[in-house]
Amino acid sequence: MKTIKGKLLLWNGLLLVVVLILLEFSVYYSLKKILYQDIDTELRNEAMEINGFLHVVNNRIEFVNMHEWEEFEHQEVGANAIFFQITSFLSLNKIRSRNMELLGITLPDHPHSYKMPKNARVYSDVNANGYWLRELEMPIYRDGKQIGVLTTAMSLRNIKSFFNAILKIFMIITPFTLLVLVVGIWRLTQKALYPIEHISSVAGEIMKSQNLKHRIDIRDSAQEVQQLAGTLNSLFQRLDESIQKIKSFTANASHELRTPLTIMRGNIDVILAKERTKEQYQHTLKIILDEVKKLSRIVDNLLTLSRSDAGQTILEKNVLRLEELIESCQEELQSLIPPGEQQLHLQYERGLEILGDEAWLRELLFNLVENAVKYNRPGGEIFVRAYSENNRVCLEVRDTGFGIPEEELPKIFERFYRIDKTRLHSTEGSGLGLSIVKWIVEEHEGEIHVESQEGKGSIFRVEFPAVSYEEIAASYGKKSVRSA
Kindly tell me if the per-residue pLDDT of 365 is higher than 90.
yes
Percent of the chain with pLDDT over 70: 87
pLDDT for 73-112, tens place per residue? 566 767 778 898 999 988 888 888 888 888 888 888 888 8
Kindly tell me if the per-residue pLDDT of 461 is higher than 70.
yes
Q: Which residue has the higher pLDDT, 74 or 432?
A: 432
Is the domain spanning 223-310 CATH 3.30.9.90? The answer is no
Crossing angle of helices 157-209 and 4-52, rounded to 10°: 170
- Mean per-residue pLDDT, 370-393: 91
Q: What is the pLDDT confidence band of residue 137, given thresholds at 50, 70 and 90?
A: very high
For residues 327 and 305, the answer to whether their CB atoms sit within 8 Å is: no
Q: Strand, coil or helix: what is 464? A: strand
Q: Return the pLDDT at 38.
A: 92
Kindly tell me if the per-residue pLDDT of 483 is higher than 50.
no
Helix (H) or strand (E) holding 141: strand 131-142
pLDDT for 187-216, tens place per residue? 887 777 777 777 777 777 777 777 777 777
Q: Return the pLDDT at 482.
A: 38
Q: What is the pLDDT confidence band of residue 424, given thresholds at 50, 70 and 90?
A: very low
Q: Return the pLDDT at 42.
A: 92
Q: Looking at residue 107, what DSSP letter applies?
A: P
CATH class of 318-475: alpha beta
- Mean per-residue pLDDT, 286-308: 79
Lowest mean pLDDT among 191-200, 336-345, 471-480: 471-480
> What CATH code is assigned to 4-162?
3.30.450
Query: Could you give the CA distance from residue 51 to residue 45 in angstroms, rounded to a whole number?
Result: 10
Q: Return the pLDDT at 479.
A: 37
Residues 6+ positions from 477 with CB-CB distance below 8 Å = none
Query: Could you give the CA distance from residue 166 to residue 158 in angstroms, rounded to a whole number?
Result: 12
Domain ranges of the chain: 4-162, 223-310, 318-475
Q: Strand, coil or helix: what is 86? A: strand
Q: What is the pLDDT confidence band of residue 420, given thresholds at 50, 70 and 90?
A: low
Lowest mean pLDDT among 260-264, 293-297, 309-313: 309-313
For residues 410 and 374, the answer to whether their CB atoms sit within 8 Å is: no
- What pTM did the predictor assign? 0.51
Kindly tell me if the per-residue pLDDT of 23 is higher than 60.
yes
Mean of the per-residue pLDDT values of the chain: 82
Q: What is the pLDDT confidence band of residue 480, given thresholds at 50, 70 and 90?
A: very low
Q: Return the pLDDT at 396.
A: 94
| C-alpha R_g of the chain | 51
Comparing CA positions, the residue from 171, 136, 160, 163 lying closest to residue 150 is 136
- Mean per-residue pLDDT, 274-289: 86
Q: Which residue has the higher pLDDT, 69 or 299?
A: 299
Is residue 35 classed exposed, middle or buried when 0-12, 13-18 and 19+ CB atoms within 10 A define those classes? middle
- Mean per-residue pLDDT, 30-55: 90
- Mean per-residue pLDDT, 395-420: 84
For residues 467 and 354, the answer to whether their CB atoms sit within 8 Å is: yes
Q: Return the pLDDT at 236.
A: 76
CA distances for 213 relative to 207, 221, 243, 244, angstroms: 11, 22, 11, 11
Q: Return the pLDDT at 151.
A: 93
CA distances for 160 relative to 36, 97, 155, 184, angstroms: 11, 23, 9, 35
